[in-house]
Structure 1
């Protein structure tokens, strides 16, 4: 319970006490009844918001713990499920109800004991079973034959399947006809092969895109990039995350980008200071119009960055632009928990704040300039 909720509780109690002292009026237009209703509504609204925020934070903790701390992950899952996820109050086996702890255990014993017994089902169709086994054998023989004699230029469905398997580095698929995998094994095997193929493919293509130069090529399917993680539901923090994502993926449009896209029909000059081309280096580090915004944050970023990077034995020089846009660029994929917390809690917020503040200043100046030009 936060201070805002405590204050709302006091206001509600005070309003209820005054309403009670006034004889509990029930007229719809009564001031004291309205005040009691409003304070009750405000309190419930704050409680619902707090519960929603707690759910969001819990889900984010579960997502973070799933990849870093399995013990915490299962602890959070058990907590989220509550008592009903651990205890059974009632069990029904063969139309018989078991309610106490001992009787529930008895019901489980009876149920699984019956499953272990071999039963002779009188109405079982043995002829149908034999027919299915014969059809299965025929299908296996046809599959083996098609895979052996058909060429890659054939339009056979089996050859299409063989091409798909070859794409994902699944060779000699005939062996799986003789020694088939279980459903779970096959699913795990295929998922691993497909993920590896696309992971390698994406990493290879990433190197060919200059706009992704601020992203290191470490990529794991199903794992959120640490730069995109946030535990806050604050709308401003979400906006900061959006701006940072545009910078790191090279999709933030500056005047130099507009000039390049239009074959330099657009002037690449910075519209804030009108002293140099508006490149990403100029916008973040050199523009004089935003120097007051930049100076204090740059000092803090350099201080935090030096504390973090001092622990890593780096062979390459540090680029300040890259550090600001993606603080994780120079860190290993599997970093220790202390470094990850230090970067996520101190360095990343400073970098997000700098980029968002520069973006907001640029947006305000350009909006005013465009409005003034339209009036003329």
Structure 2
């Protein structure tokens, strides 16, 4: 008990230990939980809110949009394919287009009834952003899984 740390050093060490613990828990859960496969892992998730929350303004509409985005990213948004897993009476096909099973990929990338919305809000902004990153070049998206992660 001769060399007790100062109050400041003790608080700093405690905070660092707690943050390291929760960062390791976060990393393990992101790697093991299927619902978090579309959520991009960021550096220091304990002290920095996710990018979805960083771009939210302080109004009810933006907060609702962010909640919806997080549900889609974490796989907790109830799509028809998810509902069909829990009930035999529910068909997994998309209620908007009725063309195929309503999965996250179908909902965000392929649903014909959402193509106008997708083109206006997602694809135009996405490709503009990618062009800015590449300074005028185009990036070929390898597969739909990668495109979903980028969105």
TM, length-normalised to structure 1: 0.35
Report the aligned-residue RMSD: 2.5
Cross-structure match for 1:249: 74
1:295 equivalent in alignment to 2:119:
yes
- 1:275 shift after superposition: 1.6
For residues 55-75 of structure 1, give each alpha carbon's deviation from its aligned partner in whole angstroms, at most 9, with x where no partner exists: xxxxxxxxxxxxxxxxxxxxx
| Mapped partners of 1:309, 1:237: distance in 2 | 25
Cross-structure match for 1:307: 131
Q: Which has the higher contact order (CA 8 A, sep 6+)?
A: 2
Q: Which has the higher helix share?
A: 1
Return 5+ residue gaps in structure 2 as ranges: none
- 1:189 shift after superposition: 1.2
- 1:186 shift after superposition: 1.4
1:322 equivalent in alignment to 2:145:
no
SS in 1 for 2:66: helix
Residue 211 (structure 1) aligned to one of 35, 53, 58: 35
Return 5+ residue gaps in structure 1 as ranges: 1-176, 325-376
Cα distance change of structure 1 residues 208 and 237 upon mapping to structure 2, 3 Å threshold = same
Residue 191 (structure 1) aligned to one of 7, 12, 15: 15
Number of residue pairs aligned between Structure 1 and Structure 2 = 144
Cross-structure match for 1:91: none
- 1:195 shift after superposition: 1.4
The answer to whether the Cα contact below 8 Å between 1:207 and 1:217 also exists between their aligned partners in 2 is no
SS in 2 for 1:207: helix
